[in-house]
Amino acid sequence: MDPITQTVCGAIVAQAIFNNKLGRSAVLFGAIGGILPDIDVFFRFSDPIVAWNMHRHFTHALVFIPIGGLIAALPLLLRSHWRQHWKLAIGAATVGWATHGLIDCTTSYGTYLLWPFTNARYAWDNMSIIDPLFTLPILIGVVWALARGSTRPARIALAYAFVYLGMSVVQHARVMNVQQTLAEQRGHEIARGRVMPTFANQIVWRSLYESDGMLHADAVRVPLFGPAKVKRGESVALLHLADLAAPLKEDEYVRSSLETFSHFADGYISAVTQITADPVRIGDMRYSLVPEGFAPMWGIAISRGNPKPTAWPTAFSGDRDRTLRNLWREILDDTGYESVTLEGE
């Protein structure tokens, strides 16, 4: 998730556990532990796909938590005051670090939570990477606990966070039910599917599933109270190496790059341009500027003259304001959505 959320989540857990013994310093150690795993964004690689894959890698893994907590605490322990409570300080930094990978798993990007035992990218898809209704109450709890020098506000805010996460799991299950209903109505058998909340909300979701080599996207609106509605969307063909024109499909570097990019995107990739184009652009179809469509936010471009992939973003900056305005309208109003009858209703 975003750096602010990671920082306050680390801080609030450290406050709730260590405030009585470590005082206000618990916030500092927990906050540093909460944000420091994202140091991997500063790792530099010439290959953009490797750079994308290294984010949320070993620094986010469960086995790295004790090491990470120690790394986060050591610079602060240079002060003699904190060295007197070094065990508590390391503990606060460690629980802060522990929150990071788990919170990232609630989003759709993918986290190497169980590295090195598996290279699977865990993504539970129930939270947006930015969700102010989750983050702001926790931030208020951190400030409130600091002002009062008490663990009670921190524990109240932490309880709210768990309730909100539980609500997001329920919302995710509701949208998965809608996705299954849509597929059945179309006569599709879902090979695999994911549903993801759109930016900064729990109301409008993106439904994406694979059936017979095609990807199908829909927008699903699930108010906290009231029936779900849908905006039926588009379909595109999945991309495979064999689909590319020669000589790209015979190039070993292209093969390796496409496999790595597909792993990063959980296999949800498709050509944005014609596969005969030069360069051919391949998008990560998990994300789109419109939830029911296929306007990917990033991808790779491969040219026959230079098969080394290059990263390309969409012109998101130019579309951002319009996209966010449209999304805000859809959160507030279901115009353009239609009712869907779910099993058991």
What is the DSSP track for 135-175?
A: HHHHHHHHHHHHHHT-SHHHHHHHHHHHHHHHHHHHHHHHH
What pLDDT sits at residue 5? 97
96 is written with which tokens?
């802060």
The answer to whether the pTM exceeds 0.85 is: yes
Q: Give yes or no for residue 318 having a pLDDT over 60.
A: no
Q: Are 281 and 312 in contact (CB under 8 A)?
A: yes
What pLDDT sits at residue 314? 60
**d(Cα 324, Cα 301) in Å, to the nearest integer?**
27
In this predicted model, what pLDDT tens digit does every residue of 132-141 receive, in sequence order?
999 999 999 9
In this predicted model, what pLDDT tens digit does every residue of 212-253 receive, in sequence order?
999 999 999 999 998 999 999 999 999 998 888 888 888 888
Q: Are 141 and 11 in contact (CB under 8 A)?
A: no
In this predicted model, what pLDDT tens digit does every residue of 161-214 receive, in sequence order?
999 999 999 999 999 999 999 999 999 999 999 999 999 999 999 999 999 999
**d(Cα 194, Cα 29) in Å, to the nearest integer?**
36
